[in-house]
């Protein structure tokens, strides 16, 4: 099953790196949607079918925490698995995010092997 993925990060470089790393890791990728912040991401989710979301935390307009909270408040969106990709190394923040429904956390920088394992553990693909 190919996964339709949404990558949310204000850095176009990071979005490209995540997309390329998923492909290098052999993750079955279908359509890759991109958004520069949480608000843009919610607009994508309102009209596209997405199987898995990767999101940064530190973004303008709507940051990753607010985005995750908006997703978890929606009956439709809260079932979509969310993986946070961030430089944030705080164990406290990771636990807070998991309590809000985040399924996994990837600390930057990451390897294709790590990303593959996290995707496999999260969605079983």
Partner 1 sequence: MNSQREGAVKKVFCEMLEKCAFIFAETAAKDEIDDVAGEYVCVAMSFSGAWRGTMQLALPRPLCAVIAANMLGLEPDDEEAAQAQDDAVKELLNVTCGNVLTTLAGTEAVFSLSAPKTQVLPAAEWKALLQSPESVGFTVEEQPALLRLTIDDEAGAHHG
Nearer to partner 1, 78 or 110 (CB): 110
Q: Is 88 in the site for partner 1 (CB under 8 A)?
A: yes
Nearer to partner 1, 77 or 105 (CB): 105
8-state DSSP, 5: E
Q: Is 92 in the site for partner 1 (CB under 8 A)?
A: yes
Q: What is the largest CA-CA distance in the chain?
A: 34
Q: Which two three-digit tokens encode residue 86?
A: 């961030």
Q: Is 87 in the site for partner 1 (CB under 8 A)?
A: yes
Q: Is 98 in the site for partner 1 (CB under 8 A)?
A: no
**CA separation for the pair 85, 53 (Å, rounded):** 10
CA 83 to chain centre: 4
**Stretch of residues binding partner 1 (CB under 8 A), selected from 11-19, 40-48, 66-74, 75-83:** 11-19
Q: Which two three-digit tokens encode residue 54?
A: 């990767």
**CA separation for the pair 102, 98 (Å, rounded):** 5
Which position among 48, 90, 120, 125 is part of the footprint of partner 1 (CB under 8 A)?
A: 90
Which residue ranges make up the site for partner 1 (CB under 8 A)?
A: 10-14, 16-17, 20, 58, 60, 86-93, 108-109
């Amino acid at each position: 099953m190919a996964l339709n993925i949404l990558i949310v990060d204000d850095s176009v470089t990071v979005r490209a790196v995540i997309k390329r790393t998923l492909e290098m890791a052999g993750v079955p990728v279908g359509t890759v949607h991109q958004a520069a912040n949480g608000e843009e991401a919610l607009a994508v989710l309102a009209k596209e079918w997405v199987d898995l979301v990767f999101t940064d935390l530190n973004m303008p307009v709507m940051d990753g925490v607010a985005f995750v909270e908006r997703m978890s408040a929606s009956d439709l969106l809260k079932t979509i698995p969310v993986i946070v990709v961030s430089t944030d190394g705080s164990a406290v923040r990771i636990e807070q995010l998991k309590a809000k429904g985040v399924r996994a956390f990837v600390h930057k920088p990451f390897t294709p092997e790590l990303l593959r394992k996290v995707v496999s553990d999260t969605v079983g693909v």
